[in-house]
Amino acid sequence: MAKNLGITKGSTLGNCHIVEDIIGEGGFGVVAKCRNTDTNKTVAIKINKSEAGILQQAVEEIAILKRLRCLNPDTCNIVRWDGFFFHKENICMTFELLDQSLYHYLQEQHTRGLTMGELKPILHQLATALAHLHSTETVHADLKPVNVMVVNRDQHPIQVKLIDFGLACPVSEVKQGACFGTVWYSAPEMLLGVPFKESFDMWSLGLIMAELILGCHLYPGKTVYDVLRFMVETQGQPPDEVLDQGLYTENYFFKQNNRTPHVELEKDRKMLVSLIKSMLNMDASKRIMAREVLQHPFFDPSIPERTPGQVASLCRLYKTTHAQGGNSMPSPGSGTEPGFLLQGESFSAPKTLIKKSLPC
Ligand X SMILES: Nc1ncnc2c1ncn2[C@@H]1O[C@H](COP(=O)(O)OP(=O)(O)OP(=O)(O)O)[C@@H](O)[C@H]1O
**Identity (one letter) of the amino acid at 107?**
Q
Q: Report the run of H or E that residue 311 belongs to, with start and end.
A: helix 308-323
**Which segments of 25-154 does DSSP mark as H helices, in order?**
52-67, 102-109, 116-135
Position among 95, 252, 253, 298 found at the interface with ligand X (CB under 6 A)? 95
Interaction residues for ligand X, span 59-88 (CB under 6 A)? 79
Least distance to ligand X from the beta carbon of 201, Å? 15
Nearest distance from residue 62's CB to ligand X, in Å?
12
Q: Tell me if 46 is assigned to a ligand binding site.
A: yes
CA–CA dist 46, 214 (Å, integer): 32
For 20, other C-beta atoms within 10 Å of its C-beta total 14
Considering only 17, 46, 87, 270, the residue that binds ligand X (CB under 6 A) is: 46
Nearer to ligand X, 133 or 149 (CB): 149
Told to judge if 300 belongs to the known catalytic residues of this protein, a careful annotator would answer no
Q: Is 28 near ligand X (CB under 6 A)? A: yes
Q: How many residues bind ligand X (CB under 6 A)?
A: 20
Would you say 31 or 212 has its CB closer to ligand X? 31
Q: Does 54 bind ligand X (CB under 6 A)?
A: no
Q: Is 149 exposed, middle or buried (0-12, 13-18, 19+ CB in 10 A)?
A: buried
> Is residue 49 within the footprint of ligand X (CB under 6 A)?
no
* Site membership for ligand X, residue 147 (CB under 6 A): yes
In Å, how far are 96, 116, 141, 312 from 128, measured between CA atoms? 19, 18, 16, 41
Q: Does 163 bind ligand X (CB under 6 A)?
A: yes
Nearest approach, Cβ of residue 25 and ligand X (Å):
7
Q: How many angstroms separate the first and last alpha carbons of the chain? A: 45
Interface with ligand X by CB under 6 A: which range of 163-171, 257-265, 319-327, 345-353? 163-171
CB count, 10 Å around CB of 15?
10
Q: Does residue number 316 form part of the binding site for ligand X (CB under 6 A)?
A: no
Alpha helices per DSSP H over 68-172: 102-109, 116-135
Residue from the set 148, 164, 193, 227 that interacts with ligand X by CB under 6 A:
164
For the chain, state the CA radius of gyration: 26
Considering the candidates 142, 201, 240, 268, report the single residue annotated as catalytic: 142
Q: By three-state DSSP, how is residue 77 classified?
A: coil
Measure the CA–CA gap between 168 and 196, rounded to whole angstroms: 12
The residue within the footprint of ligand X, chosen from 23, 179, 202, 213 (CB under 6 A), is: 23
Amino acid letter, residue 318: Y
Q: Is 31 in the site for ligand X (CB under 6 A)?
A: yes
Query: Which listed range, 96-104, 195-203, 304-312, 327-335, lies at the site for ligand X (CB under 6 A)?
Result: 96-104
Tell the smallest beta-carbon distance from residue 103 to ligand X (Å). 8
Burial class (CB in 10 A: 0-12, 13-18, 19+), 49: buried
Q: Which residue is nearest to ligand X (CB)?
A: 24
Confirm or reject binding of residue 188 to ligand X (CB under 6 A).
no
- Which residues make Cβ contacts (< 8 Å) with residue 301, sequence separation at least 6? none
Taken in order 102, 103, 108, 113, the sign of the CA dihedral is: positive
The binding site for ATP consists of 46
Q: Would you name the residues annotated as active-site residues?
A: 142
Applying CB under 6 A, the residues found at the interface with ligand X are 23-24, 26-28, 31, 44, 46, 79, 95-98, 101, 146-147, 149, 163-164, 166
The binding site consists of 46
